[in-house]
């Protein structure tokens, strides 16, 4: 049974595994209408209506932090149960198979096929505001399809390798942005969603995206 406040604000756990400053994400989610707890406590993570997985820093370091906090198992249990999860920045990247960052050999969670690779642009990191090409029918980007979002990253997934012909499986919705080359800016896959940009740093557009996600819980 989902943990709810008496005001019926959906409960959201922000996974606390040592990933940088996540308090801006906590505050943004509270403003979006959620009752938010920064935690790695098993029951709190599993029982919350939604789980947010932030990610700041290098891919391998984030994976090791998640492993140390038992976060990979907790995320996996929620995904297996169809419970909402939202990854942010490297929290998106770890859902793919792996990364070439610093010649990393650390595998990702492989929820989606693909590799995180350095952006082949003259200006890296990609830091600042950028538009996106929202997936048709996106719930995350409803009403904000033409807005700009705040990115800070040097690596991204640049090819979508999902087999759309898999039986009994609806193809995920993929949103793209461009910095030198097109790259994946967001994925919506049933209860599992993720953004390469930081909605908590993206002003009114990011606040609207988080409100769209919170409303879906």
pLDDT in tens, 54-83: 999 999 999 999 999 999 999 999 999 999
pLDDT in tens, 108-122: 999 999 999 999 999
The residue whose two tokens read 């994976």 is 63
Catalytic residue among 89, 101, 111, 126: 89
Q: Tell me whether residue 145 is one of the annotated catalytic residues.
A: no
Cis peptide before 125 (omega within 30 of 0): yes
pLDDT in tens, 42-62: 999 999 999 999 999 999 999
Per the CB < 8 A criterion, the answer to whether 8 and 2 are in contact is no
pLDDT in tens, 163-172: 766 555 678 9
Percent of the chain at pLDDT > 70 equals 94
Residue ranges in 38-151 assigned as alpha helix (H):
42-47, 59-68, 71-80, 90-93
Q: Tell me whether residue 106 is one of the annotated catalytic residues.
A: no
CATH for the stretch 11-215: 3.40.50.880
pTM, two decimal places: 0.93
Q: Tell me whether residue 42 is one of the annotated catalytic residues.
A: no
List of residues 6+ apart from 26 with CB closer than 8 A: 14, 36, 38
Domain residue ranges in the chain: 11-215
Average pLDDT over residues 9-15: 98
């Amino acid at each position: 049974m989902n943990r709810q406040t008496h005001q019926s604000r959906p409960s959201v756990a922000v996974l606390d595994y040592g990933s940088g400053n996540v308090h801006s994400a906590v505050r943004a989610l509270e403003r979006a209408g959620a009752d938010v707890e920064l935690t790695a406590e098993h029951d709190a993570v599993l029982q919350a209506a939604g789980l947010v997985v932030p990610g700041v820093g290098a891919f391998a370091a984030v994976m090791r932090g998640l492993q140390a906090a038992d976060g990979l198992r907790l995320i996996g249990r929620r995904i297996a149960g169809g419970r909402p999860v939202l990854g942010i920045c490297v929290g998106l990247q770890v859902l793919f198979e792996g990364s070439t960052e610093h010649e990393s050999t650390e595998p990702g969670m492989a929820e989606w096929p693909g590799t995180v690779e350095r952006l082949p642009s003259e200006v890296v990191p990609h830091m600042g505001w950028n538009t996106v090409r929202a997936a048709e029918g996106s719930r995350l980007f409803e009403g904000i399809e033409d807005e700009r979002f705040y990115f800070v990253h040097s690596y991204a997934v640049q090819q979508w390798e999902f087999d759309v012909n898999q039986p009994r499986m609806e193809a995920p919705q993929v949103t793209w942005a461009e910095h030198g080359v097109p790259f994946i800016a967001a994925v919506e896959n049933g209860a599992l969603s993720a953004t390469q940009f930081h909605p908590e740093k993206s002003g009114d557009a990011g606040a609207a995206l988080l409100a769209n996600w919170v409303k879906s819980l």
